[in-house]
Structure 1
């Protein structure tokens, strides 16, 4: 091999799609390479001109343009261009010009086509555009996980036991025993509507222990209108429904007709991350100190999910359920210590816990909704102590105090329900900078304890009012583009430059947070009542306000950036470091570097569209 070929070989081995080629094939390709040089500002490829080689940038930078002259992409060292023309009649589809003095390697068309035909990875890489390539990377992760892809109906192995509302309770118990099931569904024979569910526990607690007559109708001991799952829901979603509602039996429905009942044991057999066991353990602890001792279990649960290829939605939702469970148990313990509350209240989770996208690195954002009969002089002492107990306990359990004071311990965030309505109305109708900042936190809210319907009612009010105020949406859109993705002029990563995290990328501040911000604006505009970003995107796509394909692009970008963040935190745990949101580029594989740049470019384009759509004369 000639000396320059060694240099060619070393260079190509560091850059996709050549980095995955076997040595013999790569060496053959290297033997065909030629070299060309272009001065800054000169054209390299003109639209419609013949193209007979793949261009590989050795040094310098180029601009790839659309035929209209609009910028399509910028490429630097390791970038390739000309592939679209080679795959389509040998004519240039995207003109290219040198931004600076540029040295390129030329891979002849015949050798390019040989690699394309013989190596799937090479073909996949060059055949699709950045956003499609990113979609394939995300899809491969999803396909690898059974929890994500299996529908809940796959857990059903028999038809449900159906009983009429007037059936005697003892007769239902005998049927359950005979058919060896632990639950029966109470269905009205005339309408076919399911009225309730009765379980072994109901027979024990509501029939035997209460001393009811055994011939009492089953409606006397059933749970009316139970929480259900649709048959096409995923196993993981059914698991989370059971966790959130603390139920052991989940009727499965198709077109309002019962198909079967999933039991907790079915989910446990299917569930591989053991988050169910952890949540169950949380609710058995008797003090904040005992709860804090479970932190290693939380970390182990997180690592198992990452190692078993769970996606970001699964991990974020599971950790949010775990976080809510800590709050719920602490609130139970607080009420045991302080006595029953003097007036009804709702404890609210904000931010990532409300959106079901929590990771290990999080703080506590929470607030309290109080009944309108609340009188500060009479009642606030109780709620102040309760909030302090919960907040201190969360800090012990690995959820640090919010540095911005967005906690129920702050009297500003303990309000009557009517006062919250007035506050949110003011924020929407008078969008000052501080109100907009508050909105970006408080407009992701979810009740975790107490009068949960109050949180739902408040969120419904937020969605209704926000969609009626174009100026508010325009202001939120301007705020949503303040945090830009960390891409430089040549699509290189822009690093943090201060503090102990210099020369790293804050993947939350520059990635997942701005994505959540812009998705929230679109969701409010279309009246989506969803909280999770992926669910919001589904609603936004259905509303048709995005250019074709861009909603799916955003979903892929969010998934990939979130998983880089999650894997980095798992790596920190593996190496004995404190997990954080700062990713060092040297810890990224070439695969991650490439697709992370693709994802950040999608975010950048989405921010530009957001600014355009919600200008004051267009918003709404």
Structure 2
């Protein structure tokens, strides 16, 4: 067959299949002329994850299997189908490895040819992107697929069966068993009164034997249960590694018992997760916990940013990135509080240090300020006790500023006396804000109704959050006011759905992805969550509960999820790109920096936000209460 005959055959084949039918004759001719024909023997690899994406692949004959990053099968494609567009549209790297399932002949379209077709032929681009899913759904599914080992289940990291010891055993027997099995921890078990099967009663580690037995001068025949930690943080075997990491970060534990139907099946150690990534966020938190001064903490702030870049390069989802950075921020606050108490002495009355806003929602990024407050015990006497708490709060807020968490321009910090008050004052304020909403109190509600305890009597924060959940849904006028407030920030779309740009910081014409994207999304999700009495904090968790309650029309919840995830990831990647380029990151991006696929997907996300704001206005349009979805 001559070269001319071969190109004619390629042209005829392309013209008989979608999406090439959308192309005009001359364009189709140029495409056929650019095609490289390659043969792959059955079982041989075609592309590997992470390599440069150089071609778009069209199956002429044979079968190709496309895999997810974790090795599971993603798709099987046969004659006339295509693959590889994800990598070409996303950083020009292969996202899904592929191999020939049988002897296969492929047409390879060079990346520049594919990109030019995609950007200049809209119908062709839509066919390639959409098929049976929307463009935005594809973008988010690709991100979820690329989230790596942190999205695996906990059981996949277990190195062996659980090593246990009955609670009736002695410390000597525990040490002997740990030596025998070469482990640094043992799970203490007792028989379940109903089934007789072993259930978790505690955990004992090398450190417990050193600090509670040897240093405590106890006898080796001391019952092991007396040196074990009994109030144990544990996780179910089918939860995500990411969730395990969050538990370890939040509670500062190095060993996490893993349960299946309440029965211990193993222990996940911090080292197991640290192996997943260099510059691990767990490693950063361990360094924070050991820091002896604010100066040492400030050095670790650079490590936190390096960990952020590492997570973004690993294609982790916005949920994982935001939760991890929030946990790192909590660790900074906790260590600063410990250093403050070392300097100023123990607190005269109990307190709870609060995280507010994005940190409380577990959505914090590297561009952030500090929103915090103090709940004090009801025995607090301002004249007697405030000097201590003013010193403590100022030390923590100044320390956070040195670690890269800018002072809140609105003064919402514990160093401001207005925001360090007894529990009874906070309860009265929250009730007043709900029962008598004003423009000022609505602004406070947007901040303080995202509230989480960081240190001290954290149950006080939980009780305030539960009170808001009960109280807000019973006050439709408050919900209607919050809804109107959530509509003040609109997506940057013009009349013809083109981007409305603004001068923003160092950018001459840009979109502020927080002010015009993620912030209005989290605002409207918060209102829906308050309307159903949800106590969830994270926007994705709130959205799940709103959908489960039937408070949104069918399909609206998943669309909002995708919009929030995609805008968040564009914002996150932009910040990581700035850090790698030696620039101070911000929340703005110029659309010209995005690929055509990303611009279209971002426009889709902003359109979903616009429609969601229309529905919010409809649902909470009066003080009568929320309407049911139609």
TM-score of the aligned structures, taking structure 2 as reference length: 0.78
In structure 1, the partner of 2:510 is: 504
Residue 447 (str. 1) matches residue 453 (str. 2): yes
Query: Are positions 1:276 and 2:282 aligned together?
Result: yes
- 1:201 aligned onto 2:203: no
Task: Name the CA distance, whole Å, in 1 between partners of 2:370 and 2:149.
Answer: 29
Cα shift readout 1:479-521 (whole Å, capped 9, x = no counterpart):
1111111111111001125775442111100000001001111
Residues 285-344 of structure 1 show CA distances to partners (whole Å, capped at 9, x for unaligned) of: 222222222332222211111111111111111111111111112111111111111111
TM-score scaled by length of structure 1: 0.79
Distance 1:536 1:22, change over 3 A: farther
Instruction: Give 3-state SS (helix, strand or coil) of 1:503's partner.
Output: strand
In the alignment, what sits opposite 1:437?
A: 443
2:38 alignment counterpart: none
5+ residue gaps, structure 2, are 1-18, 34-116
Which of 523, 528, 543 is 2:549 aligned to?
Answer: 543
Offset from partner CA, 1:124-167 (integer Å, 9 cap, x none):
424346xx221111111121121342101101232212322212
- Secondary structure at the counterpart of residue 275 of structure 2: helix
Q: Indicate how the Cα distance of structure 1 residues 419 and 297 shifts in structure 2: closer, same or farther if over 3 A, else same.
A: same
- Shift of residue 29, structure 1, vs aligned partner: 7.7
SS of 1:198 mapped into structure 2: strand
Any conservation in 1 of the 2:279–2:303 contact (CA below 8 Å)? no
- Give the alignment of 1:348-427 within 5 angstroms: 348-427=354-433
Pairing partner for 2:169 from 139, 161, 167: 167
For residue 395 of structure 1, report the CA deviation from its aligned partner. 1.1
Alignment check: 8 A CA contact 1:273 1:305 kept: no
SS of residue in 2 equivalent to 1:259: strand
Give me the whole-angstrom Cα distance separating, in 2, the residues matched to 1:498 and 1:183: 53
> Which 5+ residue runs of structure 1 have no aligned equivalent?
1-16, 32-110
SS in 2 for 1:431: coil
**What residue is the counterpart of 2:111 in the other structure?**
none
State yes or no: 1:347 paired with 2:353.
Answer: yes
Task: Return the alpha-carbon distance in structure 2 between the equivalents of residues 576 and 542 of structure 1.
Answer: 44
2:228 paired residue among 209, 215, 222: 222
Task: Give the whole-Å Cα distance in 1 for the aligned partners of 2:385 and 2:409.
Answer: 26
Cα distance in 2 between the residues matched to 1:312 and 1:354:
15
- Give the secondary structure class of the aligned counterpart of 2:509: coil
Confirm or deny: 8 A CA contact 1:147 1:271 kept in the other structure: no
Does 1:158 find its partner at 2:160? yes
1:574 Cα deviation (Å)?
Answer: 2.6
Matched with 1:75 is none
How big is the shift at 1:431? 1.1
CA separation of 1:23/1:371 partners in 2, compared to 1, >3 Å: closer, same or farther? Answer: farther
Counterpart-to-counterpart distance in 2, 1:304 and 1:449: 28
Say if 1:347 and 1:23 are closer, same or farther in 2 by CA, change over 3 A.
farther
> For residues 65-96 of structure 1, what are the alpha-carbon distances to aligned partners after superposition, in whole Å with 9 as ceiling and x for unaligned?
xxxxxxxxxxxxxxxxxxxxxxxxxxxxxxxx
The aligned residue for residue 102 of structure 1 is none
Q: C-alpha displacement at 1:122, in angstroms?
A: 6.1
Mapped pair 1:182 → 2:188: no
Larger deviation: 472-481 or 571-580? 571-580
Distance in 2 between residues matched to 1:583 and 1:365, nearest whole Å: 25
Q: What is the aligned counterpart of 1:252 among 240, 258, 276? A: 258
Classify 1:524/1:452 alpha carbon distance in 2 versus 1 (closer, same or farther; 3 Å). same
Deviation (angstroms), 1:591: 1.4
Q: What CA RMSD, in Å, does the superposition of the two structures yield over aligned residues? A: 2.7
Distance verdict in 2 for CA 1:23–1:495, change over 3 Å:
farther
Provide the rounded CA distance (Å) in 1 between the counterparts of 2:164 and 2:504. Answer: 65
Q: Counterpart in 2 of 1:483? A: 489
How do 1:555-594 and structure 2 match up within 5 A?
A: 555-594=561-600
Aligned residues: 518
**C-alpha contact (below 8 Å) 1:142/1:148 kept by paired residues:** no
Q: Is residue 623 of structure 2 the alignment partner of residue 619 of structure 1?
A: no
* Aligned residues of 1:370 and 1:415 also touching (Cα < 8 A): yes
